[in-house]
Structure 1
Amino acid sequence: MPSSMTTRLFLKSSSLAGSRLLTGPLILPGQKWILVRGYRPEKKRQIRERGKEQRKTTARKIYETLDLPSPYNIPTKEKIADFHPRYMNRVHMNEDNPHYHEEKTYIFNHRCRLEEGVNQALWLTKSKLMGEGQLPERIQELASRLEMPDMEERVLRSIRKCRQYDTQSKLIPVDRYSYAQNIDFIRLCQLMSGQYPGLLQRAQSDGYYVAGSWHRGDEQIQVRGRSGLLVSSTSPLERLASPEEVAETASHTLPDFYPLAPTIDLLTRNVYKDNHNFSGFYEGSPFPHAHTLFIHDARNWCRNTMQYLNAQGLMFAFANAMSRAKLQYGADAAIDLDEPIVTQSIVSTGVKFAFIQVQLNTLNMNSNDGIKNMVWVDEGNVMYSDHYPVVFRIFKTHGNRHTKPGYIKKMHRRDPDLGCRELDVNVFRKFLACYVNGAA
Structure 2
Amino acid sequence: MALFHTTHQAATILTRCLPAVSSQLLFHRGYRPEVLKRGIEKNKQKKKPLHRVVEEMLGLEPAIEQPPRVELPNNHPQYSNRVDFGPENPHYHDDVAYLFTHDVSLQEGVKQALWLTKSKLMGNGQMPNQIQDLTTSLEIPDMDEKVEQSIRQCRQYDTVNKFISMKRYSFTTTMALIRLCSLLGPQYSDILSRAQAPNYYVSASWTRENNVIQVRGRPGMLMTSKNPLQPLAGLDEIQQTSDHTLETFYPLAPTIDLRTCYVYKDNYNFPGFHDGYPFPHAHTLFMYGEYDERQAEKINARGIMFAFANALCRAKLQYGTEEMDLPTPFVTQCVVTNGVNFSYIHVQLNTLQLDSSDGLKNMVWLDADSALYQDMYPPLLKIRRTKGNRKTDRRYIRPLVRRDPELGCRELDVDVFRKFLACYLNGAVN
TM-score above 0.5, yes or no: yes
The alpha-carbon deviation at position 90 of structure 1 amounts to 4.1
Deviations 1:113-141 (A, max 9, x none): 00111110000000000011110111011
The answer to whether structure 1 residue 104 and structure 2 residue 101 are counterparts is: no
Question: Which residue does 1:145 correspond to in 2?
Answer: 137
Superposition pairs of residues 280-291 of structure 1, within 5 angstroms: 280-291=272-283
Q: Aligned equivalents of 2:67 and 2:149: distance in 1? A: 49
Deviations 1:202-238 (A, max 9, x none): 0111111111111111101011111110000111101
Amino acid at match of 1:316: F
The answer to whether structure 1 residue 357 and structure 2 residue 349 are counterparts is: no
Change in CA separation of 1:51 and 1:159 when aligned onto 2, cut-off 3 Å: same
Q: Aligned equivalents of 1:316 and 1:350: distance in 2? A: 20
Change in CA separation of 1:273 and 1:50 when aligned onto 2, cut-off 3 Å: closer
Amino acid at match of 2:179: R
The alpha-carbon deviation at position 92 of structure 1 amounts to 1.3
Native 8 Å contact 1:302 1:308 kept in 2: no
Change in CA separation of 1:88 and 1:142 when aligned onto 2, cut-off 3 Å: farther
Change in CA separation of 1:180 and 1:70 when aligned onto 2, cut-off 3 Å: farther
Q: Aligned equivalents of 2:366 and 2:340: distance in 1? A: 17
Moved more, 229-238 or 378-387: 378-387
Q: Aligned equivalents of 2:69 and 2:309: distance in 1? A: 43
Secondary structure at the counterpart of residue 277 of structure 2: coil
Q: Aligned equivalents of 2:256 and 2:59: distance in 1? A: 74
Q: Aligned equivalents of 2:43 and 2:155: distance in 1? A: 53
Change in CA separation of 1:61 and 1:48 when aligned onto 2, cut-off 3 Å: closer
Native 8 Å contact 2:376 2:410 kept in 1: no
Change in CA separation of 1:188 and 1:49 when aligned onto 2, cut-off 3 Å: same
Q: Which has the larger radius of gyration?
A: 1
The alpha-carbon deviation at position 361 of structure 1 amounts to 0.8
Q: Aligned equivalents of 1:248 and 1:103: distance in 2? A: 35
Change in CA separation of 1:77 and 1:208 when aligned onto 2, cut-off 3 Å: farther
Native 8 Å contact 2:127 2:365 kept in 1: yes
Q: In the alignment, which of 418, 422, 425 is matched to residue 433 of structure 1?
A: 422
Question: Which residue does 1:315 correspond to in 2?
Answer: 305
Q: Per chain length, whose mean CA-contact separation is higher, i.e. which structure has more relative contact order (CA < 8 Å, sep 6+)?
A: 2
Question: Which residue does 2:191 correspond to in 1?
Answer: 199
Q: Aligned equivalents of 1:112 and 1:182: distance in 2? A: 23
Native 8 Å contact 2:109 2:297 kept in 1: yes
Question: Which residue does 1:189 correspond to in 2?
Answer: 181
Deviations 1:362-385 (A, max 9, x none): 111111111111000001201112
Native 8 Å contact 2:164 2:403 kept in 1: no
Q: Aligned equivalents of 1:213 and 1:321: distance in 2? A: 11
Native 8 Å contact 2:375 2:409 kept in 1: no
Q: Aligned equivalents of 1:78 and 1:200: distance in 2? A: 51
Amino acid at match of 2:205: S
Amino acid at match of 1:140: Q
Amino acid at match of 1:382: A
Change in CA separation of 1:413 and 1:193 when aligned onto 2, cut-off 3 Å: closer
Secondary structure at the counterpart of residue 149 of structure 2: helix
Question: Which residue does 1:269 correspond to in 2?
Answer: 261
Secondary structure at the counterpart of residue 232 of structure 1: strand
Identical aligned pairs, as a percentage? 52
Deviations 1:386-431 (A, max 9, x none): 24399xxxxxxxxxxxxxxxxxxxxx96322335222111111100
* Gap regions ≥5 residues in structure 1: 7-22, 24-39, 82-86, 391-411
Q: Aligned equivalents of 2:45 and 2:276: distance in 1? A: 64
The answer to whether structure 1 residue 166 and structure 2 residue 139 are counterparts is: no
TM-score (norm 1): 0.77
Native 8 Å contact 1:386 1:418 kept in 2: no
Deviations 1:129-156 (A, max 9, x none): 0011110111011011111012122212
Aligned Cα RMSD in Å?
A: 3.1
The answer to whether structure 1 residue 250 and structure 2 residue 242 are counterparts is: yes
Native 8 Å contact 1:302 1:309 kept in 2: no
Q: Aligned equivalents of 1:435 and 1:313: distance in 2? A: 16
Q: Aligned equivalents of 1:210 and 1:120: distance in 2? A: 21
Q: Aligned equivalents of 2:59 and 2:426: distance in 1? A: 71
Question: Which residue does 2:389 correspond to in 1?
Answer: none
Change in CA separation of 1:77 and 1:314 when aligned onto 2, cut-off 3 Å: farther
Q: Aligned equivalents of 2:122 and 2:314: distance in 1? A: 23
Question: Which residue does 1:325 correspond to in 2?
Answer: 315
Amino acid at match of 1:153: E
Structure with the bigger percentage of helix = 2
* Gap regions ≥5 residues in structure 2: 12-28, 30-34, 73-78, 380-400
Native 8 Å contact 2:164 2:402 kept in 1: no
Amino acid at match of 1:321: A
The alpha-carbon deviation at position 304 of structure 1 amounts to 3.5
Native 8 Å contact 1:100 1:272 kept in 2: yes
Amino acid at match of 1:378: D
Deviations 1:144-203 (A, max 9, x none): 111101212221222122222222322110111111211221111111111111101101
Q: In the alignment, which of 335, 351, 373 is matched to residue 384 of structure 1?
A: 373
Secondary structure at the counterpart of residue 170 of structure 2: helix
Secondary structure at the counterpart of residue 164 of structure 2: coil
Q: Aligned equivalents of 2:54 and 2:406: distance in 1? A: 60
Amino acid at match of 2:227: S
Amino acid at match of 2:337: S
The alpha-carbon deviation at position 76 of structure 1 amounts to 8.0
Native 8 Å contact 1:148 1:192 kept in 2: yes
Question: Which residue does 2:127 correspond to in 1?
Answer: 135
Amino acid at match of 2:99: I
Question: Which residue does 1:305 correspond to in 2?
Answer: 295
> Number of matched residues?
375
Structure with the bigger percentage of strand = 1
Amino acid at match of 2:335: I
The alpha-carbon deviation at position 88 of structure 1 amounts to 7.6
Q: Aligned equivalents of 2:40 and 2:153: distance in 1? A: 58
